[in-house]
């Protein structure tokens, strides 16, 4: 409701259908998990209302960065998911998503950054397998940011 994006339940149902479709046509499926870096700082410093406003702005930016064929949903908290065709350039889409988040600024005019993880489906994957790998890749990207 807050961001206007579908929620986790919708994502799980939609992703399951996409995994079945991808397997049927022997085509891979790409999942990107986007996490807003240091989001807790926004809530702790300026309050949850400002945090909610920031999430709405991030959701709008991510939606604008995606094509009409991409599925975008809010995974929860400050995490979002994009399900896309693997024939798209990951680098181009990832950069568009990162730039969309960076276009949002905090109250102190600092740009927001994000960490993005990517997973491509493999034979026999469930939707949870793909989502888990994308989530792990996002955390790996986040840990590189802090290193």
Residues serving a catalytic function are 78
Burial degree of 112 (CB within 10 A; 0-12, 13-18, 19+): buried
- Close Cβ partners of 109 (under 8 Å, ≥ 6 residues apart): none
Distance CA 141, CA 58 (A): 19
As given in the structure block, the two tokens for residue 128 are 């949870």
Q: Are 74 and 52 in contact (CB under 8 A)?
A: no
């Amino acid at each position: 409701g807050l961001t206007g994006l579908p929620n986790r339940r919708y994502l799980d149902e939609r992703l399951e259908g996409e995994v079945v479709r991808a397997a049927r046509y022997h085509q891979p499926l790409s999942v990107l998990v986007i996490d807003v870096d240091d989001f807790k700082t926004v809530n702790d410093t300026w309050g949850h209302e400002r945090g909610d406003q920031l999430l709405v702005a991030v959701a709008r930016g991510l939606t604008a960065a995606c094509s009409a064929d991409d599925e975008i949903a809010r995974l929860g908290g400050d995490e979002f998911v994009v399900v896309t065709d693997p024939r798209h350039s990951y680098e181009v889409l990832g950069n568009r998503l990162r730039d969309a988040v960076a276009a949002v600024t905090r109250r102190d005019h600092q740009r927001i950054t994000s960490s993005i993880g990517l997973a491509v489906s493999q034979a026999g994957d469930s939707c949870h397998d793909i989502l888990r790998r994308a989530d792990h890749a996002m955390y790996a990207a986040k840990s590189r940011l802090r290193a």
